[in-house]
């Protein structure tokens, strides 16, 4: 079973507590990308996510932060040649 970012980070932004739900959890356009639920395995490409407890901004704004994220590396290793960096058309 593949892990989604909120399970790996245990951020609680998946509705499991009183905090507001992160766009990575609800963005259905990204569903099944990298075998994830909604944006759960492509969260670096979802605008406005809540990592590190603050709104992270757009894909362009957070690309450097996310490039160092252990979860992103994990997904890249697990997906190998099927790994997708983004889910939207440029
Ligand atoms: S993007 Fe970050 S804050 Fe949002 S659900 Fe994933 S781990 Fe949690």
Residue 5 has pLDDT above 80, yes or no: yes
Report the predicted TM-score, pTM, of the whole model to 2 decimal places: 0.87
Which atom of ligand 1 has the smallest separation from the CA of 40?
6
Give the nearest ligand 1 atom to 8 CA. Answer: 7
Of 75, 62, 64, nearest to 5 by C-alpha is 75
Kind plus residue range of the DSSP H or E element containing 46 = none
Report the nearest-CA residue for atom 5 of ligand 1.
Answer: 6
Average pLDDT over residues 30-49: 95
Q: Is the CB of 13 under 6 A from ligand 1?
A: yes
* Tens digit of each residue's pLDDT (9 = 90 or more) over 80-89: 999 999 877 6
- Which residue is it, tokens 């440029």? 90
Q: Does residue 51 have its Cβ closer than 6 Å to ligand 1?
A: yes
3-class SS letters over 10-38:
CCCCCCCCCCCCCHHHHCHHHCCHHHCCC
């Amino acid at each position: 079973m593949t892990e989604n970012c909120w399970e790996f980070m245990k951020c609680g932004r998946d509705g499991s507590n009183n905090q507001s739900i992160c766009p990575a959890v609800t963005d259905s356009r990204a569903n099944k990308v990298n075998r994830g639920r909604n944006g759960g395995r492509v969260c670096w490409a979802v605008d406005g996510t809540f990592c590190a407890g603050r709104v992270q901004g757009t894909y362009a704004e957070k690309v450097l932060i996310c490039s160092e994220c252990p979860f992103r590396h994990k997904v890249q290793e697990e997906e190998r040649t099927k790994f997708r960096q983004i889910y939207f058309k440029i």
